[in-house]
Every structure is written in structure tokens, then in C-alpha cells.
Amino acid sequence: MRRGGSAYDKGGFAMLEIRDQQLRLLFLTHLVRELQRSAAENRPAPTGLDETQLSELRSLSTDDLVRLSEMPEPRVAVQIDAGSFEHGLRQVDYIGKRSRQVEHFIRNGATSAMLSKLFRISSTDVTLKRRLFSGTHEKLRRPAMPAPAVREAIQKRWWEIRKGKEREPVRPEDYEALHADYPACTYATLWAVVHEFDK
């Protein structure tokens, strides 16, 4: 049970009955506007109402709509498709995770080139996110390379992380795993070490 309505499942859909008068008025007002727009554009009206009801709805004044919203009938409810709702939830979760990853990389010294490569975001977006998360949009200086022994250890660990995935694109998670083992190094340094022998 939710404030202002009740929810139940019906054939793969979640139905929420609207009992709050202000929400009912908002919905009815929106419905009338849509009916008027569909009539003006010669589009079909929403199904479920006959022509007489549709005509009466279009002609209701604001005062009529207020009075209608205050009555127990008509019953007003919204219907949410459970399948697309689940898809939306997954998208929200993915976008949230991605945003947290970008923030983590920026706060730990990732370069603009690295961010663009791993997250496929434009340089403009990188600049905006850098301002948001680190308070700066200045270009990062060339990272200082660690001692040869440390570089060798980082490259060995990178090879272990990517073993068996050579044909797959490099993911942000690969660098997160590397950074977890070398937290004192910035992502810019790790990127430089990994790509030290690239042509």
C-alpha cells in the first residue's frame, strides 16, 4: 500500500489506483489535454472510452475537472508494464554504477584520454565531470613513472588480469583490479606503465 493509492499485479502489469485528489486532478487534466490534442491532430484517442465519453471529457471546464477529481468515481489508475519497468531499473542501476566508476577514476588521477577510451565519453563531458568531481578541468601533468621493478610488477599483474581476455575490450574493471593492488599509483601512472611499450 502506498500513500495516495493501492498497487496490485494484473497480467504482467503493476496497477496503481490514484486516490489523492490532487493527483487525480493532474491526471484528468492531462487526459483532457491529450484528447484535445489528438482531436486537433486527427490522431486516434486512447482506447477504453466511447465517443460520447470522449466528447464530454473534451468539453469539461476546469471547475468540472476539479469536481470530478473529488468524486470517488470515476476510478483513476495508472498501469506500469512490469517488463519495461524492470528494464528501466537495470538501466538506472547501470548508469549509476558507471557514474560512480567515472567519479572514482577522476578522483584517482585518470587522464582525459583514459576516460574517453574506457567510458566512451567526449572530451567536453570529461571536462564537466572533472569540474564536478575534482573541482578542476586543468590538464593533468605527465605522470611520473615508478621504479623499474615496480613497473615490471605492474605489467606482470596486468598480464594476469587480462589473461584469457586478450580478444576482449579492456574494461574499467580491469584497471580497478590493477589499482586495488597498487593504490598508491594514480590511474594515469598505471595507464602509462601498461602502455609503456606500445608503438
More confident residue, 48 or 146: 146
Whole-number Å distance between alpha carbons of 25 and 194: 60
Same domain, 141 and 186: yes
Instruction: Domain of residue 50: give its range.
Output: 5-75
Same domain, 42 and 126: no
Give a yes or no: residue 16 inside a domain: yes
Same domain, 109 and 68: no
Residue with cell 608503438: 199
Using CA atoms, how far residue 55 sits from 23, 24, 32, 49, in Å, is 23, 20, 10, 10
Total number of domains in the chain: 2
pLDDT at 136: 53
pLDDT at 6: 46
Same domain, 104 and 199: yes
Same domain, 35 and 118: no
Same domain, 56 and 113: no
Same domain, 108 and 181: yes
Query: Which tens digit of pLDDT belongs to each residue from 64-83?
Result: 889 988 988 888 888 888 88
pLDDT at 181: 96
Same domain, 107 and 195: yes
Give a yes or no: residue 84 inside a domain: no
Same domain, 105 and 198: yes
Q: What is the 3-state secondary structure (H, E, C) of 54-67?
A: HHHHHCCCHHHHHH
Query: Which tens digit of pLDDT belongs to each residue from 81-112?
Result: 888 888 889 999 988 999 899 999 999 989 88
Give a yes or no: residue 36 inside a domain: yes
Same domain, 68 and 120: no
HSE, side-chain direction, 13 A CA sphere, residue 36:
11
Window from 102-116, 122-136, 166-180 with minimum mean pLDDT: 122-136
pLDDT more than 90, % of the chain: 36
End position of a domain, from candidates 26, 60, 75: 75
Give a yes or no: residue 142 inside a domain: yes
Same domain, 123 and 170: yes
Give a yes or no: residue 108 inside a domain: yes
Same domain, 18 and 55: yes
